[in-house]
Amino acid sequence: MLSNNPFSILSETISPFAMQSFLVVMVLLIAVGTIIQMIHHKNLTYFFNNAKKAKLSATKKLGPGERISVIAKTTVVDIGTTSELGFGKRRLAHVLGMYGTILFWVSSAVLVFCYTGADKPTSQTWSMIWHAGAILTCLGGYWFWFFLRVDVSAEAHPWYRIIKADLFVLALLACSTFGLAWSYTQFNGQTGLSYLFLVLFVVSNLILFGGVYWSKFAHMFYKPGAAIQKNLAEADGSRDNLPPPADAPEQFGLGIKREESKHY
């Protein structure tokens, strides 16, 4: 099953052009939803205004090389490894989900555009990447949902309590889960179940990409920008208009070691 390209088999009943058009529509939904959210919440205005304030209070002018170095380090360390979460289970769950999602989305586009159709070759490698990405997304996402959410572990809310902020992670998990179920049932010749899971896979994608305005989807774009701006402010001395750190060593006493931290 892992080396099976479910989109190739689907092309026997649905044209590759229809599948490609669906992916293009999903990308447009991301762009439109993010732009509308930025206009409504004025996120872009905040970043620009904050950058202007930081520039006025900067104590050092960064050259192009220094800026590139800070941006590259932020991308690799802060964004690429979600270092803001520190070492622990939450960070591992986020990394699994993040890279699983990236692999799942990229391989979906590659399979549909390059390896689906009567005159197209097959690629076991990309098919395996597609399945591996979906599995990693499920591992990280379900681990986070059932065991690591802040409101569950720190505030004692039940795991089945759902709010609007959960739309992104639930839709993402639904996409990966139904995608795997569709591939499995299709590979085993279970036609009825295969079409059922295909419909659920399509619907969950529509919810995920069509619900950008209401979900935390756009945070994937905001958080990297905020991390880069923060590190540039540290490098040029503006520090987002915050005072410099004290020279005295940090002393918290023994109380901080009495229990495992569950408050994020």
pLDDT at 264: 47
- Residue corresponding to tokens 């901080």: 256
SS3 content of the chain, % helix, strand, coil (to 5): 70, 0, 30
Distance of alpha carbon 35 from alpha carbon 213, whole angstroms: 9
pLDDT at 129: 94
- The one-digit pLDDT tens for each residue of the chain (264 residues) are 778 889 988 888 889 899 999 999 999 998 888 888 777 777 667 667 776 776 667 777 777 888 888 888 888 877 777 776 666 787 888 888 889 999 999 999 999 999 888 788 888 899 999 999 999 999 998 888 887 775 555 566 676 777 777 788 899 999 999 999 999 999 888 888 988 999 999 999 999 998 887 777 777 777 777 777 777 777 777 766 666 666 666 565 555 555 665 554
pTM across the whole model: 0.79
Distance of alpha carbon 148 from alpha carbon 144, whole angstroms: 5
Residue 260: left (phi > 0), alpha (psi -120 to 50), or beta?
A: beta
Domain-by-domain residue ranges, the chain?
6-55+62-235
Q: What is the pLDDT of residues 91-118, one digit of tens each?
A: 888 888 889 999 999 999 999 999 888 7
Distance of alpha carbon 108 from alpha carbon 133, whole angstroms: 10
Cβ distance 137 to 172 under 8 Å?
yes
pLDDT at 198: 93
User: What CATH number does the domain located at 6-55+62-235 have?
Assistant: 1.20.950
pLDDT at 255: 58
State how far the alpha carbon of 46 is from the alpha carbons of 36, 53, 223, in Å.
15, 11, 13
Distance of alpha carbon 194 from alpha carbon 196, whole angstroms: 5
> For residue 94, how many other CB atoms are within 10 A of its CB?
19
**Encoding tokens for residue 194?**
């295969």
